[in-house]
């Protein structure tokens, strides 16, 4: 649970104060109506009855205080727990996101940002880009289930990943805006596994909100080429991803020489 910032604390106090005032007014109106009804009933029964006990009023005050305390607790708990992906990113040093271009370097915080993933070869549910920092080249491939050309290229991605696996890691990136949930992506991955030798070897990040903001793909597929330093080497479509280009880049980055 993160500590609330100064501005958030002021906003929270204003919210609590407004809730307390609203609750008090509501309870006072209810109490006034109850008192009027009670007095009318008492007058009808007897004008000489004993004075009404204050026990009811005391119970009502205790109830009011308990209700106000409960409201304060709920508001505080809700505010403290409300950490969206954006708030988590802010906690990781990604509060201000500036779109990256060729020649830029991804921030260190992005290397360590937890990312939800499916189809990981080791069965992991969460990864970071830092897990692949030993690779000479990382390719982020933005895709969506409604992009047929994206899915049609998966067998080629699988083949390239297997050939260059020592120096290359391809990571599919499915943005949150695609509305593809985990089960749908898993189904697509399983279908791809039937069309390749062995199993489909390319993991997919899903429900992504942060990487997408850094590169803002307008069309799919969109490939982001990163070296081991996190420098953006290229931003391309799918046709630029071929063995000749990879061989050239990997040699330049100090990778192994691969056969044609």
Most confident range (mean pLDDT) of 47-51, 163-167, 254-258 is: 163-167
| Nearest C-alpha neighbor of 116 from the set 157, 66, 171, 35 | 171
pTM for this entry: 0.66
* Tokens matching residue 41: 């009933």
- Per DSSP, what are the bridge partners of residue 204? 118, 172
Sorting pLDDT into bands at 50, 70 and 90, what band is 65? low
Q: Is 204 helix (H, G, I), strand (E, B) or coil?
A: strand
Give me the mean pLDDT over the 223-246 stretch: 96
Task: Tell how strand 137-142 and strand 222-227 pair up.
Answer: antiparallel
CA distance 237 to 121: 26
Q: Are 209 and 193 in contact (CB under 8 A)?
A: no
């Amino acid at each position: 649970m993160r500590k609330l910032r100064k501005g958030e604390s002021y906003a929270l106090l204003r919210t609590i104060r407004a809730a307390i005032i609203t609750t008090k007014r509501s309870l006072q109106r209810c109490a006034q109506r109850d008192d009027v009804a009670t007095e009318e009933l008492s007058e009808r029964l007897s004008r000489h009855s004993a004075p009404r006990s204050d026990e009811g009023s005391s119970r009502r005050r205790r109830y009011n205080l308990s209700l106000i305390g409960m409201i304060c607790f709920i508001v505080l708990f809700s505010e403290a727990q409300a950490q969206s992906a954006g708030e988590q990113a802010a906690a990781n040093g990604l509060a201000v996101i500036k779109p990256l271009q060729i020649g830029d370097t991804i921030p260190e915080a992005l290397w360590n940002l937890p990312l939800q993933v499916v189809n990981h070869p080791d069965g992991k549910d969460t990864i970071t880009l830092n897990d692949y920092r030993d690779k000479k080249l990382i390719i982020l491939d933005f895709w969506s289930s409604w992009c047929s050309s994206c899915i049609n290229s998966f067998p080629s991605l699988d083949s390239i990943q297997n050939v260059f696996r020592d120096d290359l890691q391809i990571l599919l990136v499915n943005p949150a805006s695609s509305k593809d949930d985990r089960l749908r992506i898993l189904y697509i991955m399983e279908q791809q596994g039937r069309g390749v030798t062995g199993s489909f070897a390319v993991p997919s990040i899903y429900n992504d909100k942060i990487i997408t903001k850094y590169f803002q793909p307008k069309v799919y597929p969109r490939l982001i080429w990163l070296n081991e330093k996190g420098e953006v080497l290229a931003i391309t479509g799918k046709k630029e991803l071929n063995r000749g280009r990879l061989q050239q880049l990997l040699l330049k980055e100090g990778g192994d020489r691969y056969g044609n």
